[in-house]
Structure 1
Amino acid sequence: MSALAPGARVSDYDYALDPSRIARYPTERRDASRLLVVPRAGGDLRHGVFTDLVDLVQPDDLLVVNESRVLKARLRGHKPSGAPAEVLLLQPRAVGSEVLWEALVRPGGKLKPGRTVVVADDLTVDIVDSTADGGRLVRLRTPLPLEQALERHGRLPLPPYLEREAEDSDLERYQTVYARVAGSVAAPTAGLHFTETLLAELAERGVETAPVVLHVGPGTFRPVEGDDPAAHPMHTERWSIPPATADALARCRARGGRVWAVGTTVTRTLESAAGPDGRVQAGEGETRLFIRPPYPFRVVDALITNFHLPRSTLLMLVAALAGYERIMDAYAEAVRSGYRFYSYGDAMAIV
């Protein structure tokens, strides 16, 4: 039996990280994060700061960003008995003529179908059914537009590894400056480094920017169990690509420019929507695409991303673009050099 290639096992994506390197708060300025540049063709890794992107992205290139906005999806309330309860909304699901929400609830053993959580006088959550993965289907009852009700009564759902509650500063800093379409339960974190000033500087250089939307679901934090990536049930996420972005992608290809994906969410969106010839059509849909070595990229040439958790599907995605050994060497260098990791951490440019 032949040996598996490096990067074929989940355990190949393990690495040691001191907990002190997990960034629990963002840098004072968005674009002050460090940037590790990883050339796909080989050569030395380069250390810099995020504003160096102005020199990395060329005028013929296209920068694609994810305009999804994080919902205030964590709802705290109480059962009719007065006992505290919590609901974390995950994603909407059409059931017949109504829209229910997949959710996680606490205490799970007590909040069975038929129970109710009172969040406020104008927001109640009905537990409708259980889901196969231990979650719930819930109905939100409110006289307000849903986004307004969540904005009024919800809290931002920060990643569990931050080990803290959301604070007022997170209301701004855990959203990108271009977030527009509410629907994510986690931020598309590569975009957190961009400022209006940096985007303006890129535009002045002739760099075109185009939006997509992919709503980040909770599966982004789901660990990969076992040692065979192919056995992992990849999570589903919803995406949309407007006609103007499809046109911008076609123009970029025609002029010989590179497509830069700002984050793994943009990468997943573009590669999911691409035809066999690499052309991307406008539209919307759901994707379960699991990008891992040796995935043949059809659209994305360069990627801006943060540093991801060990054994995660996101680490496998960046390894597919940069090469397994290349990315693991880059992570080892980042650990040695004191980079900050995960959602509020530093950035990497694979180019």
Structure 2
Amino acid sequence: MNHLAYPFQIPSTLHADTPAEYYLNKREAVRLLVQDRLSGECFHQSFVNLDRYLQKGDVLILNNSRTIPAVLYTVNQVEVRLARKVTSNTWEALIIGTQPNIGDTLSFPNHVKGLVMRKNLETPLVSIQFSVSGDDFYEFLYQFGSPIRYEYIKKEWPIDAYQTVFSSVPGSIEMPSAGRALSWKMLAKLQKEGIEIGFIQLHTGLSYYGDNRWPEPSKHPERFSVSSEVVNLIEAAKARGSKVIAVGTTVVRALESAVDANAVLHPVTGETTLHIKEDSLLHVVDGLLTGFHETEASHLDMLSAFIHSSHLLSTYQEAIHQGYLWHEFGDMNLLLRLDQ
């Protein structure tokens, strides 16, 4: 749960439940609320006009992690939501409803078994050791799994609806959704205008435990990788005075986790439990393109590192008043200093 109080309620009509391409014909046909990080002033735009707020030489960093179908059902129809990969055949998971005991065996389709190894005392997660591993596990998962779908999404959508067009490495439990509205056409246009694009990788974990329970970032490790190519791209941008814009909170977490004690960015592959909040210093990222987040989510803690919490609250109240849509199929929010 976030450490700041944001007293706003999201009307049920603003919970996006349908991908934009199914009713607006294009992924990029969503709205964009732009906010100046310094003044708090807001501007309303179409997402296709994102380039109006970027300059030649600016760098967009995207997360190329691909969403996996992380929901499995036992033969007795017990729902198991994968939360985090631990080894090639062991995963932390959230079991919905009946709670198993350590040592219990769960039976899945195709004769796959899952042994409950232990319970996480700090979260509602359990560790499950599956009877298949590696490629065999992923074959099983893609045959019998489905994407995580929360209650505001009424219809089942195919796994492709939960992917960004540029995702390439399977591993995210939930879609890194800030990049969802970017089409190949938009990316090509941005590059033609001199905007540079780089990719990090962060495999998202389970972001919600149900019953108003949310992960604490410090107890929510996520696997990430920042390459030397991205480090060089960012260093060159900083040297010429260009901005680095993260597409999504996952990108911010990865990049800021790759900074050493002297604020120097390095290529890193590992796990992060970094919790970015109001008083956190941002050493790498100058701007953030993101969706709209729930009041309880720790994502709002991170947003408060970009903009004063009073401005952030006014932005969300304005978004509600103007009918912006929330969640992974919703509209977009750009936080950026507009005087640079």
Normalization by structure 1: what TM-score?
A: 0.86
User: 1:339, CA displacement in angstroms?
Assistant: 0.6
Match of 2:308 among 323, 326, 331: 323
User: 1:300, CA displacement in angstroms?
Assistant: 0.6
Aligned mates of 1:225, 1:182 — CA distance in 2:
26
- 1:309/1:223 CA distance change after superposition, 3 Å: farther
Aligned mates of 1:15, 1:261 — CA distance in 2:
26
Alignment of 1:160-179 (within 5 A): 160-164=150-154, 166-168=156-158, 171-179=159-167
- 1:193/1:50 CA distance change after superposition, 3 Å: same
Aligned residue number for residue 80 of structure 2: 87
Instruction: Give the stretch that moved more between structures: 140-149 or 184-193.
Output: 140-149
Unmatched segments (≥5 aa) in structure 1 = 1-8
Alignment of 1:189-200 (within 5 A): 189-200=177-188
- 1:276/1:60 CA distance change after superposition, 3 Å: farther
Residue pair 2:217, 2:298 contacting (<8 A) in 1 also:
no
Match of 1:51 among 37, 48, 51: 48
Aligned residue number for residue 277 of structure 2: 292
Aligned mates of 2:230, 2:217 — CA distance in 1:
31
- 1:221/1:197 CA distance change after superposition, 3 Å: farther
Residue pair 1:72, 1:156 contacting (<8 A) in 2 also:
yes
1:101 aligns with 2:91: yes
Residue pair 1:234, 1:289 contacting (<8 A) in 2 also:
no
Q: Deviations over 1:253-312 (max 9, x none)?
A: 111110000000001111111124433111112111111112211111010000000132
SS at match of 1:30: coil
- 1:240/1:50 CA distance change after superposition, 3 Å: same
Aligned residue number for residue 280 of structure 1: 265
1:347 aligns with 2:332: yes
1:32 aligns with 2:29: yes
Identity within the alignment, %: 28
1:41 aligns with 2:38: yes
Match of 1:146 among 137, 152, 156: 137
SS at match of 1:120: helix
Match of 1:120 among 80, 86, 110: 110
Residue pair 1:77, 1:85 contacting (<8 A) in 2 also:
yes
User: 1:232, CA displacement in angstroms?
Assistant: 7.6
Residue pair 1:224, 1:232 contacting (<8 A) in 2 also:
no
Aligned mates of 1:219, 1:341 — CA distance in 2:
15
Q: Deviations over 1:5-44 (max 9, x none)?
A: xxxx946223122111111112122111100000112163
Match of 1:307 among 269, 292, 295: 292
1:61 aligns with 2:58: yes
Aligned mates of 1:350, 1:224 — CA distance in 2:
27
Tell me how many residue pairs correspond in the alignment: 329
**Alignment root-mean-square deviation, CA:** 2.5
